[in-house]
Structure 1
Amino acid sequence: MPPALAIAAQLAGRGHRVRFLGHEANRAAVGAAGFEHEAYATARPFSSRAPGSPLAQLAMFADRGMGRDLLDSLRRSPADLVVVDCLLFGAMEALRESATRYVVLEHLYDAYLRGPWLHGPLGLGMRARRLRPTRSLAGAAATLVATLPELDAGSRRSHAEGLDFVGPVVPPLGPRPEAPEPAVLISLSTYAFPGMTRRLQSLLDAAGDLDARVVATTGPVIDPSDLRPPTNTEVHRYVPHAEVMPRMSLVVGHGGHGTTMQALAHDLPVLVMPMHPFLDQPMVGASVAGAGAGAVVRRSATPAALAPVLAGLLAAGPHREAAARLGAAIRAMPGARNGADRIEELLRREPRAPGPGRPAARR
């Protein structure tokens, strides 16, 4: 949601009307950002709070109900362009088959999407449901990749025409204190991965002996009362990362692309504990570690094994210079602004496009 909302805000500020179609669970975030939200009428319900198996994720990504609802929405209220999430192949296929012009928004590494995702269990599951994910990606009028090219191995190989690295979409960066006290932010996923409470407790135990303030956020799926925080730790259900990261020295996460890019944008090294092997988290962690700006640990790591890794990343060292270098590169590529620029360029070239509820223009 954050990359799509940030690009939408840029477009709205330039006078465009932007509306969202999504799950009912998205309504609050979309409304808080000031946009219209229409809930799917027939698509499968979805909640990140319920532990989802790979089969449940497959059913959601391949849901043709999204495509039916999307085309129905466009018939009622046509749009000049549709921006579709890169994982919603049920919706993307409907756009391609109806010759509706669309842009794909990739909020992760392209190397992951076109590699392990398309060629792994989830991509194979798409094909088993008679979807054509590769064709749907290729059918987009443009593809916006909201990440840092040097971290995405996919940027180092040839791509189909239309792939555009716009840069990570991160919130505005607040001022950083001149001499902040040592502080660590520990924040795992808002999605209910199995065993996440146990993983978070291991991290808290490992951070208990650090000479640092520790801030831990549980998100909606972990009950704070199930945790035993050390004396140097404060636990919150939710704290906006944009508010706390300027005062942090280190970020610990599960390898979520958005949180990782936001941490690096603040020049912060990152410790990654991936929660799921099929998702992009291991690749995100490996890229950060490979750039020298952090480390990756197993989700089964014990507090005794985690403690020296945390202490090393909290200390001074070359990992801080590496994180600062990546941070400068991210700040030089304002993803929301660049994404809105590319969308406007496309609209200027073809201001109106055929699609449901709109006849093809005569030449």
Structure 2
Amino acid sequence: MPEILFVTWDGGGNLPPALGLATELARRGHQVRFLGHEANRRPVQAAGFEHEAYATARPFSSLAPGSPLAQLAMFGDRGMGRDLLDSLRRSPADLVVVDCLLFGAMEALRESGTRYVVLEHLYDAYLRGPWLRGPLGVGMRVRRLRPTRSLAGAAATLVATLPELDAGSRAPHATALDFIGPVVPPLGPRPEAREPAVLISLSTYAFPGMTGRLQSLLDAAGDLEARVVATTGPAIDPAGLRPAANTEVHRYVPHAEVMPAMSLVVGHGGHGTTMQALAHDLPVLVMPMHPFLDQPMVGASVAAAGAGAVVGRSAKPAELAPALAGLLAPGPHREAAARLGAAIRARPGAANGADRIEALLRPGLRGPGPGRPSARR
């Protein structure tokens, strides 16, 4: 039976697409296991998969991400590559699926001739644009890594988004990409009669100043004639917030459970949460938490499609309140969100990604491991 190894990291929104794809592959009878940071162990095992923590790679936690230099060191960590090849020597896999940002691990796969698939959990336009051309990409090359060559060396590149939202789909290299569609959880039934309701959910990643940003949103939503559900995640202490009477604050509530009853989602522009909201036909108000990450691009694409709006992270409640009220009301933004939702539902990412991976596998033939030649050079 084919065995597939997923290689990931503790980045928050990058893990659910990998788990969704892994779950579909396991449902089809494949053996799937994960290699990642120790913090990934609990969610990976909760999904039913074996998890192996990096043995020598530098420690990293999304709750204490440190400086950009620390992130740079993690993405380019050759220790990940060594741990990955050691794992494959102990337990070979037919195929490796590697997170698109782990260039230290990716280079080890490419140089060893191990067959691998890259999973892009964000816009390809961001990865090959601001990321690779910006400070992080420059940092990879300073470390003598070859990120562009490693991306090109993959047997397949799965882009878990909608091509109509990703400007990268119009780039020359896009013909080599598989736009499988967003990997979102199964959609629950919608209540027949829904009261106006707003979900406010920022990142699980510990961005500086995020508690104050969330409080501004709660203050702005306090006068809405709507139920407000706010989730803090592990990065924000709910005890430090001052919710209004119409607001309930939770450390964690599965989005798949609450979104069917929502009318509007407010987020930081995380790709996964945004795609899940759109899959439920919900408009999105985006408050990016970091100007150099993909969040502004995600917000801009949703706004350009007419399905939401973007506000600055320093926006005050007086500025946020009319934006919330406008998106909560009826209008063309709801039709635009529904159009994108229909496109997401028509392009099921987990099923399409599993189809593409299965096309790469050959029954009874174990893929090349470390030191063994690859069929693709």
TM band (smaller chain): over 0.9
Q: Identity of counterpart residues, as a percentage?
A: 88
Query: Retained in 2: the 8 A contact 1:77–1:357?
Result: no
Bigger mean CA deviation after superposition, 282-291 or 74-83:
74-83
Write the distance in 1 (CA, Å) between the matches of 2:177 and 2:277.
Answer: 25
Partners of 1:359 and 1:103 lie apart in 2 by 16
Residue 68 of structure 2 is matched in structure 1 by: 54
- Provide the residue aligned with 1:242 in structure 2: 256
> What is the match of residue 7 of structure 2?
none
Alpha carbons 2:113, 2:374 under 8 Å: kept: no
Tell me which residue corresponds to 1:257: 271
Equivalent in the alignment of 2:226:
212
Shift of 1:51: 4.3
Counterpart CA distance in 2 for 1:311 and 1:350 is 58
Residue aligning to 1:29? 43
**Please, what TM-score do these two structures have when normalized by structure 2?**
0.94
Going from structure 1 to structure 2, the CA distance change for 1:205 and 1:346 (only over 3 Å counts) comes to same
Pick one of 294, 312, 321 that aligns with 1:307.
321
Looking at structure 2, the residues matched to 340 and 329 of structure 1 have their Cα atoms a distance apart, in angstroms, of 19
User: Is the partner of 1:353 in helix, strand or coil?
Assistant: coil
Of the three residues 325, 349, 369, the one matched with 1:335 is: 349
Report the CA distance between 1:358 and its aligned residue.
5.2
What is the match of residue 103 of structure 1? 117
The answer (yes or no) to whether the contact 1:101–1:140 under 8 Å persists in 2 is: yes
Go from structure 1 to structure 2 and tell me whether the alpha carbon gap of 1:213 and 1:78 turns closer, same or farther (over 3 Å shift): same
CA separation in 1, counterparts of 2:133 and 2:82?
26
What is the CA RMSD across the aligned residues, in angstroms? Answer: 1.4
Q: Could you say if the C-alpha distance between residues 18 and 131 of structure 1 is closer, same or farther in structure 2, counting changes exceeding 3 Å?
A: same
Q: Deviation of residue 302 (structure 1)?
A: 0.4
2:74 partner letter: M
Contact 2:119 2:157 in 1 (8 A): yes
1:267 alignment partner, SS class: coil
Give the deviation of 1:11 after TM superposition: 1.0
Q: What number of residue pairs does the alignment pair up?
A: 361
Aligned-pair distance for 1:350? Answer: 9.6
Note if 1:130 corresponds to 2:144.
yes
Distance 1:181 1:52 in 2: 41
**Contact 2:196–2:227 (Cα < 8 Å) also in 1:** yes
Task: Give the 5 Å matches for 1:1-363.
Answer: 1-159=15-173, 162-348=176-362, 351-356=365-370
Amino acid at match of 1:154: G
Which stretch shifts more, 342-351 or 149-158?
342-351
Provide structure 2 residue ranges, at least 5 long, that are not aligned to the other structure: 1-14
More off after superposition, 155-164 vs 132-141: 155-164
SS at match of 1:18: strand
Aligned AA (2:123): Y
Deviation at 1:283, TM superposition (A): 0.2
5+ long unaligned stretches in structure 1: none
CA distance, structure 1, for counterparts of residue 202 and residue 133 of structure 2: 27
The amino acid across from 2:87 in the alignment is: S
Q: Distance in 1 between matches of 2:94 and 2:294?
A: 32
